[in-house]
Amino acid sequence: MESQQDFLFADGPDPELHLPDPRSNLYADITALWQIPVGQLVRVDLSGHHFSYLHGHLELARAPDLPLDRRETLALHIGGIEFTSRQIKAWSLP
C-alpha cells in the first residue's frame, strides 16, 4: 500500500508558504511618518551630497530608535551609497 502524500488544497493562486517579512510593518510605519518609500525602487534627488540623485531600492542604513519620532534623521542607502532623510529634496517611483 502506498503512503498518502500531504496535499494543500486552496482556491486561486498558489498560497504563500513563508512567514511575512517582519520589516514590512516597520517600513510601512516609516513610509507613513517620514513620507518616503522605504523598501521600494525609487529615484531620489539629493542636496548636500556627492551625487545629485540616486536610483535603486531605498533601504535603511540603520534602524531608527523606537518609538519612531519624525524629528529623528533617518540613515538611508541606495546600493552602497549612504545619505540621510534630510538630504532628500524629492523622490519619485519609476
Tell me what pLDDT residue 14 has.
Answer: 64
Average pLDDT over residues 44-67: 94
8 falls within a domain? no
1 falls within a domain? no
43 falls within a domain? yes
44 falls within a domain? yes
Q: Do 45 and 90 touch, CB atoms closer than 8 A?
A: yes
| pLDDT above 70 for 87 | yes
14 falls within a domain? no
| pLDDT above 70 for 21 | no
Beta strands in the chain (DSSP E): 41-46, 53-60, 75-78, 81-84, 88-92
Average pLDDT over residues 55-82: 94
Average pLDDT over residues 50-54: 95
60 falls within a domain? yes
Q: How many domains does the chain have?
A: 1
Band of residue 5 on the pLDDT scale cut at 50, 70, 90: low
| pLDDT above 80 for 8 | no
| pLDDT above 80 for 18 | no
In this structure, what CATH number is given to the domain that contains residue 74?
A: 2.30.30
Task: Show the domain range for 30.
Answer: 23-92
Q: Which three cell numbers stand for residue 90?
A: 524629492
59 falls within a domain? yes
Average pLDDT over residues 36-52: 95
Taking CA atoms, 36 is separated from 27, 59, 74, 83, in Å, by 10, 10, 10, 13
5 falls within a domain? no
